[in-house]
Structure 1
Amino acid sequence: MNLSLKVKLTISYVLLSLFLVSSLLFASNYFLENKFQSYIANTQEKKNQDIVNLVTDEFSANGEFPSEDSLENIGHTALSQGLILMVNDLKNNQLFCMSTLDSQMCDNMLESMRSNMAKIYPNFNGQYKENNYDVLKNGKKVATVTLGYYGPYFYNDEDIQFIQVLNKVFISIGILFLMIAAFLGFYMANRISMPIKKVINKTTQIEAGNYSERLTLVSKTNEINQLIHSVNILADTLEKQQISKKRMARDYAHEFRTPLAALQSNLEAMIDGILEPTPERLESCRVEILRLTRMISDIDKIVQIENDSLKLEKTKFDLVNVIHQIVSNFQPELSNQNIQIHISTKPCEIYADKDKIIQVIVNLLSNAIKYTDSGGKIQVAANKYGNKAELILSDTGVGIEEEDLPNIFDHLYRTDKSRDRNTGGSGIGLSVVKAIVDAHGGHIEVKSELYKGSQFIVTFPL
């Protein structure tokens, strides 16, 4: 059975409180009961001594025995306190016995004690006991007092009433604490579950495609604040992806439409005999088809990145040699655009996927050349520090607007809003670069100032 978080937390609070209260009440009752039993035993001994003193006072100074009436009065007093009085002389002859005087009353008293103790302690192992006390007059023993009672201890009616009241107090306190625990549990569970419910509602909106709103709730629980922050970040990311996908659909719809329209018009004209299928016209159609092929290849790259299917085949190689090789391949293009390039490197051997690292450098250098005007400068630097390798590529190109910097590594994002592939590219290069760097456990950042140039800093673990 599935239960809500609020119900589970409330039940947890109640069960925990029940355990704690029960343990506390049990321990309190146990120790209090032990103390009470000790108190009853001490009180019983005090009663015994009082009865012995009463009997002693009845003896004369020279040790003459008291009258039977006085002993009978003391016997009734003792009986009212749960004691059966017996007095023997020095020769152990019985002078007085309350049980002999009124055996029915004594039996009833002992049965009442046994019944009282059985009510409280069903397994109480009690039995009739007798204690002997010497009667001393002027330092001489004149008689022996024997007191019989139900032991090892017994509760009278007042004691039982006290215990019953005490148990009722304990039960009332336990019920009160449980009610307070249930209230506090419900209150705390509501405090905890309420922001989680709001997070759930927000994630439901995200699931429905509403990424615009953000959670502004602030909780006093760190984990809930982290959850709220994560949900907001998720909404930001999904919103950016949604914008990126819409832009992708818009851009590619625009770019597919143009070559397809040109192909369609040319082919229909040649089929209808309006135009001659000359080699030049066929070549023009082939160029458009190649353009469509390149765009489809870009889409394949996006799918590869989205599926995290970048597989690395790592080997050891010198990053400096790779940089010089790539720059050499770009030399004709650099010369044609009158761009100066300066290489500043130190030996730097890394363990990485060589082909992927080449792709990173090619994409960054290609972008630098594309956005650097004639007469500009590009600088490539590579070195290592600690357990990392660093690649820095700087240019004096047009730079990147500040509002574009957070998005340049997004798929299909282009700072050129005209969607001209000849100037703005496909928007794939930098997203591929970041995917490769991330796959290597590296980091990439960009610093740029409009009309002054850009600097890309890439770090890899050696």
Structure 2
Amino acid sequence: MTSRRTLLSPLGIRLAAAFVVVAVAGLFVLAALTIVGARSGVSELVADVHHEDATAAAAAAAVAFEEADGWSDADLSNVVAIAARGQATLSIRDEDGRLVSASSDELAEMMLRMHGVQLTDVPRSDPVTAPVTVDGVEVGLIELRFPESHLPGPERQVRDVLLRNVFLGVLLAALVAIAVSVFVARRVARPIAALTDAVQGVGARQPGVRVEVPDAPGELRTLANTFNDMAAAIEHEDQLRRRLVADVAHELRTPLTILRGTTESLVDGVADPDDSTLGSLHEEVLRLSHLVDDLHTLASADAAALHVRRRPTDLASVVAAVADLAVGAADAAEISIATELDPAAATTDPERVTQIVSTLVGNALVYTPSGGTITLRTYSEAGQATIRVSDTGPGIDPDDLPHVFERFYRGRNAQGVGSGTGLAVAHELAAALDGSIEVSNGASGGASFLVRLPAGDTLP
């Protein structure tokens, strides 16, 4: 199943919008800090320039004072020119604080006009002062008042370029943030939308629902693969359940048909209730009981209702008891049972072990041909107590080997007996005993089941 071919789903739009808002907010904060910093830096630069102008004007006034030997005949044109260059008004005071010259003088007005400055009534900043010193003696004071909104040409250019670059940078970064946000949101939202569609498909019992998002980010791709595995497992379990219904119906039909026919014959007086008839009825009842017991054990394992009573156990004695019980059935089928029982101490539940071995031996009796042999072995190995049940039958089809312990699974060579729960029950029991069970085909043919259980310290 693939996601809908749209640029952005509603989730993608929300993700992209969130990314863009965060990115643009960050850009505006950065731009604001840059502008504030730029203004502060330019203001400091302008203050330095104004101070330099005041110092230069004071130096020019000192030269004029020294040449004229006083303020009355001093040529202050150079001082006025320096003030006019900065579009500042000029005030010169002598050492007693009396006004010596100001920008309203005709000379000052002329110099200001020469520099393109009109002495208009504009707001001006606080005066920038510098002492006029001649031979180490302060003879006056220079005061310059610059327009509050005035910036010198170079400083104005620096500010304008900086502000323009900031706004262009914010605009470009916002466009990049939008493009990246759409790309990222699409990569994140498409797999989620595909997973949503797939989950709805599974909920609607649509077969073969899968998610294909190879370009998804790592975690979402892993999630999609996990979902695909889950969907495949659900389909497989559904197939097994369907097969179970058919198998159980088949298994129930035969004994129920026999029971119905026999009981009707007994009721109608057609058949006599002799030992043979009653024995046949008893066998069918046992067959039904065995099927119900398997299903109940499997359900108990599912519900974690298996009660395990562990105690020191010699697996050799447990397996020997199972072998003794199977001798009658083996002899009837002309099958030999061989045992190689070395002591194998385990701390386990002997009743559950008996159930596991009985299932394996019963399975071997079904598939081992007349004249064959079933071999039971017990031994200790690598800190584990081990049981091996092998036979000389046809073995298990390689395609069936990975599935023999699955619930309700019946292989290709199934001989029409059982419901496919026996080996699944054995597997569940082994797991409940903290052990494991494996299956393989022997080198010379036949199936071989290996049961490993935690070893015990001593034999009982």
Q: TM-score range by the shorter chain?
A: 0.7 to 0.9
Partner of 1:121: none
- Aligned with 2:423 (options 425, 430, 453): 430
Partner of 1:81: 86
1:191, CA displacement in angstroms?
Answer: 1.5
- Aligned with 1:383 (options 377, 380, 385): 380
- Aligned with 1:48 (options 38, 47, 54): 54
Question: Secondary structure of the equivalent of 2:67?
Answer: coil
Partner of 1:304: 300
1:277, CA displacement in angstroms?
Answer: 5.3
Task: Name the aligned partner's letter for residue 273 of structure 2.
Answer: T
Residues 368 and 392 of structure 2 are in contact (CA less than 8 Å); yes or no, is this contact kept in structure 1? yes
**1:106-121 mapped onto 2 (5 Å cutoff):** 108-109=121-122, 111-113=123-125
Q: Deviations over 1:171-191 (max 9, x none)?
A: 443243223212211211112
Is 1:156 equivalent to 2:161 in the alignment?
Answer: no
Residues in 2 aligned to 1:317 and 1:411: alpha-carbon distance in whole angstroms: 29
Is 1:178 equivalent to 2:161 in the alignment?
Answer: no
Question: Secondary structure of the equivalent of 1:228?
Answer: helix
Partner of 1:194: 190
Partner of 2:247: 251
Residues 211 and 238 of structure 1 are in contact (CA less than 8 Å); yes or no, is this contact kept in structure 2? no
Q: 1:291 to 1:212 in 2, by over 3 A?
A: same
- Aligned with 2:291 (options 280, 289, 295): 295
Q: Deviations over 1:181-206 (max 9, x none)?
A: 12211211112222332233233322
Residues 40 and 154 of structure 1 are in contact (CA less than 8 Å); yes or no, is this contact kept in structure 2? no
- Aligned with 1:13 (options 19, 22, 27): 19
Residues in 2 aligned to 1:353 and 1:368: alpha-carbon distance in whole angstroms: 23
Query: Please, which runs of 5 or more residues in structure 2 have no aligned partner?
Result: 1-8, 107-117, 456-460
Residues in 2 aligned to 1:327 and 1:290: alpha-carbon distance in whole angstroms: 20
Residues in 1 aligned to 2:297 and 2:48: alpha-carbon distance in whole angstroms: 93
Partner of 2:35: 29
Task: Name the aligned partner's letter for residue 405 of structure 2.
Answer: F
Residues in 2 aligned to 1:325 and 1:435: alpha-carbon distance in whole angstroms: 22
Residues in 1 aligned to 2:394 and 2:415: alpha-carbon distance in whole angstroms: 17
Partner of 1:456: 449
Task: Name the aligned partner's letter for residue 275 of structure 1.
Answer: V
1:453, CA displacement in angstroms?
Answer: 1.4
- Aligned with 1:446 (options 434, 439, 443): 439
1:454, CA displacement in angstroms?
Answer: 1.9
Residues in 2 aligned to 1:365 and 1:270: alpha-carbon distance in whole angstroms: 36
Task: Name the aligned partner's letter for residue 81 of structure 1.
Answer: G
Q: Deviations over 1:323-354 (max 9, x none)?
A: 4444444455556644242325454333x444
Residues 436 and 452 of structure 2 are in contact (CA less than 8 Å); yes or no, is this contact kept in structure 1? yes
Residues 394 and 453 of structure 1 are in contact (CA less than 8 Å); yes or no, is this contact kept in structure 2? yes
Partner of 1:135: 133
Residues 83 and 147 of structure 1 are in contact (CA less than 8 Å); yes or no, is this contact kept in structure 2? no
Q: 1:435 to 1:85 in 2, by over 3 A?
A: same
Q: 1:141 to 1:12 in 2, by over 3 A?
A: same
Partner of 2:270: 275
Residues in 2 aligned to 1:221 and 1:306: alpha-carbon distance in whole angstroms: 36
Question: Secondary structure of the equivalent of 1:59?
Answer: helix
Partner of 2:114: none
Question: Secondary structure of the equivalent of 1:398?
Answer: coil
Residues 314 and 353 of structure 1 are in contact (CA less than 8 Å); yes or no, is this contact kept in structure 2? yes
Residues in 2 aligned to 1:326 and 1:270: alpha-carbon distance in whole angstroms: 37
RMSD of aligned Cα (Å)? 3.7
Residues in 2 aligned to 1:328 and 1:266: alpha-carbon distance in whole angstroms: 33
Partner of 1:234: 230
- Aligned with 1:94 (options 94, 98, 123): 98
Q: 1:456 to 1:106 in 2, by over 3 A?
A: farther
**1:209-224 mapped onto 2 (5 Å cutoff):** 209-212=205-208, 214-219=210-215, 221-224=217-220
Residues 412 and 426 of structure 1 are in contact (CA less than 8 Å); yes or no, is this contact kept in structure 2? yes
Residues in 1 aligned to 2:292 and 2:196: alpha-carbon distance in whole angstroms: 39
Residues in 1 aligned to 2:281 and 2:325: alpha-carbon distance in whole angstroms: 30
Partner of 2:5: none
Give the structure-1-normalised TM-score. 0.77
Residues in 2 aligned to 1:62 and 1:40: alpha-carbon distance in whole angstroms: 33
Q: Deviations over 1:203-258 (max 9, x none)?
A: 33222323435445423532223222212222221222122112111122223223
Residues in 2 aligned to 1:359 and 1:274: alpha-carbon distance in whole angstroms: 41
Is 1:147 equivalent to 2:143 in the alignment?
Answer: yes
Question: Secondary structure of the equivalent of 1:61?
Answer: helix
Q: 1:33 to 1:380 in 2, by over 3 A?
A: farther
Aligned residues: 431
Residues in 2 aligned to 1:5 and 1:320: alpha-carbon distance in whole angstroms: 64
Residues in 2 aligned to 1:362 and 1:20: alpha-carbon distance in whole angstroms: 72
- Aligned with 1:341 (options 303, 313, 338): 338
Q: Which has the higher contact order (CA 8 A, sep 6+)?
A: 2
Q: 1:209 to 1:315 in 2, by over 3 A?
A: farther
Question: Secondary structure of the equivalent of 1:427?
Answer: coil
Q: 1:439 to 1:204 in 2, by over 3 A?
A: farther
Give the structure-2-normalised TM-score. 0.78
1:399, CA displacement in angstroms?
Answer: 0.6
**What is the identity percentage for the equivalent residue pairs of Structure 1 and Structure 2?**
20
Residues 395 and 455 of structure 1 are in contact (CA less than 8 Å); yes or no, is this contact kept in structure 2? yes
Q: 1:442 to 1:298 in 2, by over 3 A?
A: closer
Task: Name the aligned partner's letter for residue 39 of structure 1.
Answer: L
Q: 1:217 to 1:84 in 2, by over 3 A?
A: closer
